[in-house]
Amino acid sequence: MNKIFIVTMLCLLTASCKQHNPDADGAGIRYAGDTIVVPAGSPIMRQILTRQAGAEEYSAEFRTVGSVRPVQGRLAEIASPFAGRILRSYVRLGQAVGAGAPIVELGSAEFYEAARTYFASRSAKELKTMHFDRQKDLAAHGVASQRDLEEARSEAEIAARELEEAEATLQLFHTEASSLQMGQPLRLVSPIAGEVVKSNITIGSYAAADAGPLAVVADLSEVWVAALVKEKYFGAIRHGDRVEVFTDANPGHVVWGHIYYIGEMLDEETRSLEVIVACNNSDRELKPGMFCEVHFLSSPVRSIILPSTAVMQEQDHAYVLIKTPGPADATGYSFVRREVESETAGDGKVRIASGLSEGDEVVVEGGIYLNL
């Protein structure tokens, strides 16, 4: 019986300790919902430090890793759509080329057949068109029958469609029909302006249709840095914010960029977003495939910054204690719990995103003594 009584008393004492702050009980602190009242002259007040909340210019910053890649649309892999033998090269490695500049010529049986079909279709269309015009003239003078006229019109229309198909086939070879000559080899051109950064061209060798690019042309005057940003920093980045990029090749040099795109799809494994930073690369310091350190600096905004000791956590909620205006009255000093949203600002500080206003007198030290 005595054992049961002792166990019961221990449980009651444990529950009592969980529900009350012993220091608060000894100081006569009273609680009413979110309001806390400390008696005037309480020694607890010597442990409490308050500060008036004020806004200041604040720029969030953090570091992460990234990798360099070409700007989308500024790298072209030039490969032959059909098999053929390399007859001529127009470029060398490192050469600057313009959009539409020839890169290589190939002798391709498929291309020669496409060219032959085009010239045959063009000749047929000319003949059928002339025949149709003649039938129209004869019909106008009552010599040709309506049936002959309709047949001539149908043949001319069919010939025109066949010529269009032949011209479309030439487009697969990036060849304009207007400049094509009989026996002309297949000429591959660069679709973009840039520099030849890779070349696999060997005159006389055979290029298979699926052998990969014969040359790669890239414009690397501007590059993208793809950085992985953790979920907790999403609120600190904005489109257009300036960014610092550092590389192991030149660690003391800063390459400036700006946020070009913020991804919408979160990587579930890393809990990160891919953020694209556009960087000027006129000095070619950043090489595609290179890893780098990315330092994000958000645009300055007016924010309330407090010591991290001002913010307390209760389950999923963060809160601060606000001292009511004026000196102690007959009941003592009054404090109110206020829920806030905050984020780390570095150096032992937090940025208050919402819940506080300028002029609020906030407990920045000693709030633990006022906890329930």
Could you tell me which of 60, 72, 71, 64 has the C-alpha nearest to residue 246?
Answer: 64
Q: What is the pLDDT of residue 256?
A: 95
Q: Provide the angle, in degrees to the nearest 10, between the axes of the packed helices 109-140 and 146-172.
A: 160
Q: In the listed set 273, 300, 327, which residue is the last one of a domain according to the structure? A: 300
Residues linked to residue 280 through DSSP beta bridges, in sequence order = 222
> What's the pLDDT tens digit per position in 248-261?
998 889 999 999 99
Q: What is the pLDDT of residue 237?
A: 84
Q: What percentage of the chain has pLDDT greater than the value 90?
A: 44
Confirm whether 211 is domain-assigned.
no
Domain that holds residue 336: 22-58+302-370
Is a pLDDT exceeding 80 seen at residue 9?
Answer: no
More confident residue, 203 or 234: 203
3-state secondary structure 257-303: EEEEEECCCCECCCCEEEEEEEEECCCCCCCCCCEEEEEEECCCEEE
From residue 174, how far is each of 81, 193, 211, 290 by CA, in Å? Answer: 10, 16, 18, 33
Instruction: Give the three-state DSSP class for 31.
Output: strand
Residues 198, 204, 206: CA angle, nearest 5 degrees: 75
Q: In the listed set 259, 275, 300, which residue is the last one of a domain according to the structure? A: 300
CATH number of the domain to which 275 belongs: 2.40.30.170
Instruction: Please tell me the distance from the alpha carbon of residue 45 to that of residue 134, in angstroms, as a whole number.
Output: 112
Confirm whether 101 is domain-assigned.
no
Confirm whether 17 is domain-assigned.
no
> What's the pLDDT tens digit per position in 138-170?
888 878 788 888 999 999 999 999 999 998 888
Q: In the listed set 281, 300, 319, which residue is the last one of a domain according to the structure? A: 300
Confidence of residue 6 (pLDDT cuts 50, 70, 90): very low
Mean pLDDT of 35-53: 88
Split into its structural domains, the chain has a count of 2
> What's the pLDDT tens digit per position in 178-210?
778 888 898 899 999 999 999 999 999 998 877
Q: How many CA atoms lie within 13 A of 293 on its CB side?
A: 12
Residues 290 and 361 in one domain: no
Mean pLDDT of 39-67: 87
